[in-house]
A and B are shown apart, each in its own frame.
Chain A
Amino acid sequence: KQEVTQIPAALSVPEGENLVLNCSFTDSAIYNLQWFRQDPGKGLTSLLLIQSSQREQTSGRLNASLDKSSGRSTLYIAASQPGDSATYLCAVSPPGNMLTFGGGTRLMVKP
């Protein structure tokens, strides 16, 4: 059974810092890994998707990497801003997009 863990569970940083969120999974037979952002009480916004054949994806200040063999992914956020405050979730899936999520990292960026 696939299990996904995210560390840290919560993070508070001053504005402008670069930061790294971690995601680990137990079964390396994944098809996709997706990072999502969730604002309080809201749905999920897809940030980045990495297919199993890829090692990283970038979008603006965000960079996500994937190491399937070690069962790890990281989300790097450069020059953090207060508007980045949210919960960040990673999820892995076999073919078919039945996602298994981690518990999330709650990020607070202080002005």
Chain B
Amino acid sequence: ETGVTQSPTHLIKTRGQQVTLRCSSQSGHNTVSWYQQALGQGPQFIFQYYREEENGRGNFPPRFSGLQFPNYSSELNVNALELDDSALYLCASSNPWDRVPEAFFGQGTRLTVV
């Protein structure tokens, strides 16, 4: 059983640029959620995808967008990067039909915007 994997692990971008982060869900999981974690804070929910459709969204502007593919992997896209977008981006996968629907996290992508 493979775990949740994210790529890349680290990334440096310039303000105003666009970035794409990738996540492969754990085998058997059809739901992927993305979180932003600023330094010293708890993660904040960005959005969730279930069967390729956005299934819920947190308080993030439209320049944060996502996709989920038929194999349940997912991308997070951020346009017009701002300095405050610098954070650890975490992906979690789960299956709501599991007897215990636990969320499993990847190792994260550290994004630095300069």
Is chain B's binding surface mostly helix, strand, loop or mixed?
strand
Give B59-110 interface residues, CB cut-off 8 Å to A. 88, 90, 92, 94, 96, 100-108, 110
Q: Determine whether the beta carbon of A43 is less than 8 Å from that of B108.
A: yes
Residues 19-33 of chain A, each 1 if its beta carbon lies under 8 Å from chain B, else 0: 000000000000010
Query: CA A49 – CA B44 in complex, angstroms?
Result: 19
* Residue A100 interfacial (CB < 8 Å): yes
* Residue B56 interfacial (CB < 8 Å): yes
List residues of chain A with CB within 8 A of the CB of B94: 97
* Residue B25 interfacial (CB < 8 Å): no
Q: Please indicate which of the listed interface residues B6, B48, B110 has the most CB atoms of chain A within 10 Å of its own CB.
A: B48
A-B contact count (CB 8 A): 72
Q: Determine whether the beta carbon of B107 is less than 8 Å from that of A101.
A: no
Q: Determine whether the beta carbon of B90 is less than 8 Å from that of A44.
A: yes
Partner pick for A97 among B42, B43, B92, CB 8 A cutoff: B92
Q: Determine whether the beta carbon of A32 is less than 8 Å from that of B105.
A: no
* Residue A95 interfacial (CB < 8 Å): yes
Give B30-55 interface residues, CB cut-off 8 Å to A. 31, 33, 35, 41-45, 48, 50, 55
Query: CA A36 – CA B96 in complex, angstroms?
Result: 19
* Residue A71 interfacial (CB < 8 Å): no
Query: CA A8 – CA B66 in complex, angstroms?
Result: 35
Give A34-70 interface residues, CB cut-off 8 Å to B. 34, 36, 41-46, 49, 51
Residues 15-36 of chain B, each 1 if its beta carbon lies under 8 Å from chain A, else 0: 0000000000000000101010
List residues of chain A with CB within 8 A of the CB of B105: 36, 43-46
Chain B: CB-nearest residue to A45: B105
Chain A: CB-nearest residue to B39: A41
Q: Determine whether the beta carbon of B104 is less than 8 Å from that of A46.
A: yes
Q: How far is the CB of B110 from chain A (nearest CB, A)?
A: 7
Give A72-108 interface residues, CB cut-off 8 Å to B. 89, 91, 93, 95-104
**Residues on A close to B: CB < 8 A?**
4, 6, 32, 34, 36, 41-46, 49, 51, 89, 91, 93, 95-104
Complex A-B, nearest 5 residue pairs according to Cβ-Cβ distance, in ascending order: A101-B42, A44-B105, A43-B107, A97-B94, A43-B105
